[in-house]
Every structure is written in structure tokens, then in C-alpha cells.
Chains A and B, each alone.
Chain A
Amino acid sequence: MADVLDLTAAQAAERIAAGELSAAELFSFYRDRAAADRAAGDDGLNCFTWVAEPGEAPPADGPLAGVPLAVKDLFCTRGVPSQSGSRILEGYEPPYTATAVERLQGAGASLLAKTNQDEFAMGSSNENSAYGPVRNPWDRGRVPGGSSGGSAAAVAAGLAPWALGTDTGGSIRQPAALCGIVGLKPTYGAVSRYGMIAFASSLDQAGPLTRDVRDAALMLAQMVGQDPCDATSLQFPGQIAVPSAERLDGVRLGVPSELAGDGIGIEAGVKEAFDAALAQAEALGAQLSEVSLPHAPHALAAYYVLAPAEASSNLARFDGVRYGLRAEGASDLIDMYTRTRHDGFGPEVKRRVMLGTYALSSGYYDAYYGRAQRVRTKIAEDFAAAFSQVDYIVTPTAPTVAFRLGEKTGDPLAMYLNDYCTVPMSLAGIPAISIPCGLSGGLPVGLQLAGAAFSENGLLDTAHALERALGFDGSAARV
């Protein structure tokens, strides 16, 4: 079975369809690997919060042919623990399954495991989880990124063929970059948010974390579409195609100095790998030019108003009444609410709930939320102007490679800077993909491509051509 580990999800599905591999065997191969990581405790990567029991593999019908899927904890899965990495949802098993998961299962994916994450998707290192931190398979002393850290590490380590994550300000792209895999954040509204435990509703999007670009397209193709249960979901224009481009002739790539230039904290090794990838793109026929996103440097500030504000509202529902944890010994109702929230939320979630409540409180709305929504408009306008000159924008995904566990936990602002290059696209609602573009000091570097709304097919094709030329080999991270 050793060669099974080398198969991408698409290759595994093809082999199953051709009768060369049994879906049950594939499921039990990955289930055993995931269960071993879970059983290893501190000696493992701590990727999973739940792993399927043996023999649970469903039939291998549909285009995904039974290929096992790891799903971020915050997706509701019927009868399976879904806690969004939080203590406050202790023991919660939802009565329904999120639309994105249901669609993938309907296309033949089988639920392998739930993955560890930063609590309520708030974090860039996966150190804010009630289940403890996830370790990076490239170096276990380092973080996998976050918040979809368990999903990224599981795919990189070969503990799952592919995984589902969510991205609010970079939570798919940044961990994908730090773990040397592919991560795609779709256009806002392309995938239903129904059944995703909400963080910031105007930004949250589900997307694939995969070994390669083709797998990302295969998964996304089964996820997109309007859902009556999510009024912000949209009909995707056309179908997601299998990417096949090998050249980039005539493709115009824009490099914004605001997100890829000097003086914004991009590590030398990251810059080097990024520049080498740009040269590779040029060799494939792409036309490179500089573009400007003048308001991008303000994106992080706007994001840290908008996301916490929406979070403080979304997380109001966790009060010890309907699900999860309830603090004991409360003197009255309000005391029960406040104590439950004190005991159930971790430090970063408390910080963001406080920040959001402050920004929305009487007298501050215009100065914070109102202004941030105006900055958001300017950022979207910057992108629209850039896309009148170029087809795609290219930046490093994260300013650094994976950092050490504990290195940034004492300084929230330093942690937030991880999202510097990914937040602008989130605010504009546009799709963006991270692909591995090389190593720096033995650790993966990610390259981000972003396009206009609903440009996923072109984005995937461009990423595919570049991926093939770069020839990144992630097999060293497999356990």
C-alpha cells in the first residue's frame, strides 16, 4: 500500500473508478494513519479532533469515488463532534451537516476525520485551539499556520488525501503556504456557508486544501452553487473545469509593491523563492508588470475592526443555554452567561469579542466599523482598477516561513501580521490560491495568485501551469 500514499486524490479516484484500488482499502489506509496520529498525543502532529471508526467507509459512488476527506472542526457534521476548536461547544454533535460537506459526500467523498483549528477560526498558528496546538510536519517545533492548521498539516503529512478548510482573512492560504500544499479561497458566495460555525459572516468562505492544483479544482467543482439555506450564496457562472494549462503565454500577472515589495516585513528567503517563481512564470510566457493597490496597507487595520465586530455578534449565541458548556454554580441568569463565556472561550476569542464589542459600542461605530467598511470599498476599487490592467495579482502568501511554536503568542499584533498579504483579497471577496513555490531554510514558501470575482477557472489554470514548472516536491513532509 506504500504507493497509495503517493497518489493525489484525483489519482486515487481514477484508480478506484478503474477497479485498480478499492475505496474500502483506501479508506482504511488513511483511517489507520489518522487514528495513529490521534493516538500518539504529544508525539503526533495533533491534526485531528475526531477520526472515523474502522469500517465506516460509505459506498464509492460519484465522481469522488469514496476518497476520504478530512473536514475542519467548524463544519457541522451530523452526529459527529463539531466544536470549532472551542471548549464552549464541549460535547456538541449537530443534528445536521453543512451544505459544503453534504455536497462533497453526495459526490462520493467519505468523512475521514475532523481537523484541529484555531478556536472559532481566530488565529494564524493553530495555537489557539482547545485541543492544543498542531505541529508542522516539516519541523515539529514549528506551527502549521492557521486557522485551518489541522487540515493543512494532515494533507502535507499524508494523514488525509485532502481536506476542507475555511478562510476569513487567510485561514486556508496561509497554513497551505506554511505546510507546502495548495489552498484555495473561492469568491465570496461561491460556496454555501450553511452549517459553518460562523466567525465573520461577510468574509468566511469554505475551500479546499490539497496536494496539488488539480485536486483543488476537483473538490471545488463539487462544492460551488447556490443554497436556499444561505441567502448570500451565488450560482457559480459555468462549471469548475479540470485545469490543464502548461503555458502562460499572454497571461498578464501584476505584482503589487504594497504586498510584495520591500519594507513590509517579507523575509529574504521568502522573497528569493517568490522572485524565482516569477522568473519561472515569465519563462512560461507570462507578462509581468507592477500594479498598485494603494489601500492594501490599510487592509489589516480594517480587517481587525470588521472581523472582530462580526465575531462579537456571531458569538453572542454561546451563552450556556442551547448547547455545549454551562458554568456551574451561577447565582442568576446573567451570571450564568458571563461565567460560561469566561470558562468556555480562550484568550484570543475573548480579545476579539472585546475588540468587536468595543468597536460597535455606542459612540464608536462611525470611527471604527463605519470607517472600516469605507476602507473596504477602497480596497475593492483598487483591485478592480488593477484587474483592468492585469489578469491576476501575484504576491507571497505569507511574509515568513513557518515560525516556532510560542514565538508570537505573546504579541497579538505580530501574529496578525501573518495575514498581511491575504486579508486584502478577503475584504474584496475575490478568489485567491496559494501554491508552494520553493523552500527557504528547508521550510515551504507559498505564492498567492488572486483574480477577479468568479475567475476560479483561470486562476486554477494559471496556478496549474506554474505548479508544473516549479515542480515542488512535498513528499519530505509525509509521516
Chain B
Amino acid sequence: MTDTQPITPAVVDAKIEKVSIIVSKGSLEGIYPALIMANGARNEGIEANLFFTFFGMDAVHKDRHDHIKVATVGNPGLHVPSLVGVIPGASALMTKYMEKQIEKLDFPGIAEFVEMISDTGAGLYACLASVELFGMDRDDLIDELDDIITVGEFYDMAAGGQIIFT
């Protein structure tokens, strides 16, 4: 190969019609972007479904969705050394700071955001395997949740759209 040609990106004129967003992490930075994407999709007229699995289920857990925290350990983007991040209260402090920023911008907190997304007509689903794994009941999860489904049902529902994993 002596002659290299730049790769021309294909011109894509197609519109995204449907997105299925999987939320697998239980940190603020794991959940919030997924909520922004789901909400943004609905506001653009795109069909959107959110699937909560593993620790991501905290976003739809009645007792936990008001206490989602920023990860201060193993999170290089935060620019706080992990050794500092392990200090008791570090995560709570960082979370307070982020929550203040969110409030300042008049963005919703996680619990309010999830409710709002449900109102936009997006579907909210929890993963059956995770519900079993963590020994949860339907009652542990918020009323807005549409259903607890299997991975097979998820793929059926996601068919024909884009799948985003966060």
C-alpha cells in the first residue's frame, strides 16, 4: 500500500427514528447523560426507551434515586486522585457540588428527570436478571416504570432502532 486515500465519510441523510438506551451504572455521571439523551430524543420526536440494568437500576429505585452519587474513585476525568477520593465524605461533597451546578442551571435532579422522561412518552424498563440478582421486587421500583423485562424482550423492543449503552 503506497497510495493512501483519505476515507470520505458516507453522506447519511437518514434520520434516527428510535433509540434504546441501556443504563448500567449507578453513578451520577453514569445515569445523567443517559437521561439527557433519552429526553433529548423525545423532544426531537424520536421514539425512546430506557433500560435499567445492574447498578443503573438505582435510577428507578424508590429509596435510592434521590441519593445518586458521583464516583470519586477510579474516575480520572474528575481530576481528583483516587487516594483523595476514598476519604469518607469525598463522594458526598463532590455530589453536593454537582447537584448545586445542576440546580443553578435549572436542570432537574435524577428522580424528577426520570419522571419527566416518562411523561414525554418514553418507555422505562428494568432488567429481569438484575432484579433477581439484587433480590428486588416490583414495589422497590418507581411507579413510572413500565415493566420488568428479559433481554429477549429488550431486543424485540429495540429492533429497528439504535442501541446506546452507558
Q: Do A and B actually bind?
A: no
Q: Which residues of A contact B (CB under 8 A)?
A: none
Identify the B interface with A (CB < 8 A).
none
